[in-house]
Amino acid sequence: MKSKINAFMKEIEERNGHEPEFMQAVQEVAETVIPYIVSQDIYHGKNILMRMVEPERAVSFRVSWVDDDGEICVNRGYRIQMNSAIGPYKGGLRFHPTVNMSILKFLAFEQVFKNSLTTLPMGGGKGGSDFDPKGKSDSEIMRFCQSFMTELYRHIGPNTDVPAGDIGVGGREIGYLYGMYKRLKNEFTGVLTGKGMSWGGSLIRPEATGYGTVYFADSMLKTRNDSMKGKTVLVSGSGNVAQYATEKATQLGAKVVTLSDSSGYIYDADGIDAEKLAFVMELKNIKRGRISEYVKKYPTAKFTKGKTPWHEKCDVAMPCATQNEVDGDDAKALLSNGCFVVSEGANMPSNLEAVHAFLKAKILYAPGKASNAGGVATSGLEMSQNSLRMNWTREEVDGKLKEIMKNIHDACIKYGKEEDGYVDYVRGANIAGFVKVADAMLAQGVV
């Protein structure tokens, strides 16, 4: 089996060897899906995984815009339309200086499996720009978004490709993008998700990724007759996903002791309760400040510069910042400090060494494509509400989100349970996500 996986990866490397994050995401899938393909006659001779690894379309475009000093700036925009076998392309836009083809292709590839797991009819895509929103004025953000959309609009549509937010793209950016799309197309449609409530958004979408990650952790704990109650939790990041993961974990009786950003992490031994989280939300979402400011407001907490939180003691870790933020040493530290649940809010936050360490230790480990799928699932619910021209209540959307997360958990168990009862959620998520897309591709012929 190893030789089959190596041969496949060698071929992938010839075309994509210069894209390390993409290679990593494919390797993780290949390790679990190739043995499954070998065991299932219907996939033989169809080169199905090779077809899934190649984007259906990838566009890259110039984004010129004028800053507040009148200087003309140039960024690069992208949209990767990875797979549309089960629905229109769907996935976020990331604005961050590190954005490149490798990062967006890994995100788009993971999105295909994730969207399939949600049970909703959504294909996979991802896009963004190397634009850095940090330190930019509102007007600069608006002008950038408008310029970005003057090219993106020709590649998207409510039945073609429906982008949303990701790192650096929240409600404000979706508003500016939507306004320009509407102007260019003269259409009020559900072409983006994460919209504001008065113009087609869905209740619970802002909360959904973080909430879903906690619901998934709770489902994993239930398999061991346990729950989030009383657990000490490390959360990384302090953006959208981290904030709502903290909120839900706290509501379920856990104590979240860390948050971070790219400059370091804060540790609060008393826990980040609702009042402290409200301070963080104001700091991050309105003042757009740094997490280090937390310790000025709450001096019993400590700030550690330039480090991630993974060497602190915990029961549960929820990486909610970015890719490869947990490496092999971090995994070792987590395990030796007693961590036995990892539920990923970010996409591919654990590198392959860390993933292998978690699986070897047989802890409850959920890969992001399963545990953070609540965000895109609720985007799918936003699309349904837009098509129906109605809004569901908070309780209705949250109820559907819980149900979807439970279904994803069940699917992981179906394909990931081992003989000794241990659930390999990586294998479960990859195979469950693969089957639906692969079967649709087989039915649709070689296209």
Ligand X SMILES: NC(=O)C1=CN([C@@H]2O[C@H](COP(=O)(O)OP(=O)(O)OC[C@H]3O[C@@H](n4cnc5c(N)ncnc54)[C@H](OP(=O)(O)O)[C@@H]3O)[C@@H](O)[C@H]2O)C=CC1
Ligand Y SMILES: O=C(O)CCC(=O)C(=O)O
| Residue 398 interacting entry, from ligand X, ligand Y, none, C-beta within 5 to 8 Å by type | none
CB of 209 or CB of 386, closer to ligand X = 209
Span near ligand Y by CB under 6 A; candidates 84-92, 143-151, 178-186, 257-265: 84-92
Regarding 320 and contact with ligand X (CB under 6 A), the answer is yes
Least distance CB 234 / ligand Y (angstroms): 21
What's the helix, strand, coil split of the chain in %, to 5?
50, 15, 30
Query: Can you list the alpha helix ranges (DSSP code H) found in 294-424?
Result: 294-297, 328-336, 352-360, 368-371, 374-388, 394-416
Return the structure tokens found at 47.
Answer: 């080169």
Query: Cα-Cα-Cα-Cα dihedral of 260, 266, 270, 271, to 10°?
Result: -10
For residues 75 and 73, give the distance between their C-alpha atoms in angstroms, rounded to a whole number: 7
Q: Which of 126, 136, 255, 284 is catalytic?
A: 126
Question: Could you tell me if 137 and 176 are in contact, meaning their C-beta atoms sit under 8 angstroms apart?
Answer: no
Could you say which DSSP state residue 383 is in? H
CB of 398 vs ligand Y, minimal distance in Å: 16
Of the pair 208, 314, the CB lying nearest ligand Y is at: 208
Instruction: Please give the helix or strand (H or E) that residue 36 lies within, else none.
Output: helix 20-39
b/e sequence 86-95, b meaning 16+ C-beta within 10 Å: bbbbbbbbbb
DSSP letter (8 states) at residue 252: T
240 touches ligand X (CB under 6 A): yes
Contacted by 91, from ligand X, ligand Y, none: CB < 5 to 8 Å by type: ligand Y
The Cα 35–Cα 419 span in angstroms is 16
Does 166 participate in binding ligand X (rule CB under 6 A)? yes
Site string for ligand X, 398-427 (x = CB under 6 A): ------------------------------
Residue 90's binding partner, choosing from ligand X, ligand Y, none, with beta-carbon cut-off 5 to 8 A by kind?
ligand Y
Binding residue for ligand Y, selected from 193, 238, 343, 350, defined by CB under 6 A: 193
321 binds, among ligand X, ligand Y, none (CB under 5 to 8 A by kind): ligand X
Number of residues counted as binding ligand X (CB under 6 A): 23
Total length of the chain: 447
Q: Does 167 bind ligand X (CB under 6 A)?
A: yes
Least distance from ligand X to the Cβ atom of residue 178, Å: 16
**List 223, 262, 337, 407, residue binding ligand X (CB under 6 A):** 262
| Residue 370 interacts with ligand Y (CB under 6 A): yes or no | no
Query: Taking the mean position of all CA atoms in its chain, how far away is CA 2?
Result: 29
Instruction: For the sheet with 341-343, list strands across it.
Output: 302-305, 264-267, 255-261, 232-235, 316-318, 341-343, 364-366
Stretch 115-144 residues interacting with ligand X (CB under 6 A): none
Residue 385 touches ligand Y, criterion: CB under 6 A: no
Q: Active site includes 126?
A: yes
Residue 168 near which of ligand Y, ligand X, none (CB within 5-8 Å, type-dependent): ligand X
- Position among 347, 350, 351, 385 found at the interface with ligand Y (CB under 6 A): 347
For residues 89 to 118, the per-residue mask of contacts with ligand Y, x marking binding by CB under 6 A and - elsewhere, is: -xxx------------------x--x----
Beta bridge partners of 94: 128
CB of 211 to ligand Y, least distance (A): 13
Looking up tokens 């047989």, which residue turns up? 362
Backbone phi and psi for residue 117, each to the nearest 5 degrees, phi listed first: -65, -30
Q: DSSP per residue over 150-180, as a string?
A: HHHGGG-BTTTEEEE-BTTB-HHHHHHHHHH
Q: 2: which residues sit within 8 A by CB, 6+ positions away?
A: none
Name which of ligand X, ligand Y, none residue 261 binds, using a CB cut-off of 5 to 8 Å depending on partner kind: ligand X
For position 379 contacting ligand Y by CB under 6 A, the verdict is yes
CB 350 within 8 A of CB 344: yes
- Find the binder of ligand X among 347, 350, 386, 430 (CB under 6 A): 347
Residues that bind ligand Y (CB under 6 A): 90-92, 111, 114, 164, 166, 193, 347, 375-376, 379
| Residues carrying an active site annotation | 126
